[in-house]
Structure 1
C-alpha cells in the first residue's frame, strides 16, 4: 500500500434503496484470506432500517502497523461517495 494512504474505509450501500432490515439474513464479514479465519461479522437484518453503513476502518499508524476499528455507523444513502464526509471524520479521530 503506498505510504500516502492513511486509511481504508469499508462501507456497504444498497443501491436499490432497500433497507438492510428488509433483507433476510443480511450480513457482511471480513475473512483472512490466508487462514480463512473470520475476523469480523456484521449482522445487518436486525439493525437500523438504513441503506448505508460505515462498517470498519484500517488506519495506518506507521510503516508496518495498521489499526482495525469497527464503526457500524448507519446512514441513508445509495452511493458510497455520499459516505465520504462521515468517513473522513472517523479518519481524523485519534
Structure 2
C-alpha cells in the first residue's frame, strides 16, 4: 500500500505521514509492505497517534513527483479522499504555490 499526502491527518483522523509540511512543496509518501488485517488491528492506536510511521513495515519518503507502475492491475485501486478514481499506473506531482494555506 502506498499513501500520499501533504498534511498531518487523513482518513478520519489517522496520521499516516511522517513530519508532513503543507508548505514545503513535497509529497509525503508512506509505503507499507506486507499489510495484513492483523497488522492493522495490532497497530490501531498507532494509526491515530502518528507512531505507525515508525513501524518496521513502513518506509517514508518525501518527493515532488511520484510515478507508480503497477505489476498486477487486478489488485490495484487508486483512491483520492476516500473515493475510488481508478486503477493501474499513475503519476502524481506537486504544483508549486498552486494553493495557498493559511497556517495560524
TM-score by length of 2: 0.25
Which gives a bigger RCO, structure 1 or 2 (Cα 8 Å, sep 6+)?
1
- The structure with the greater share of residues assigned to strand is 1
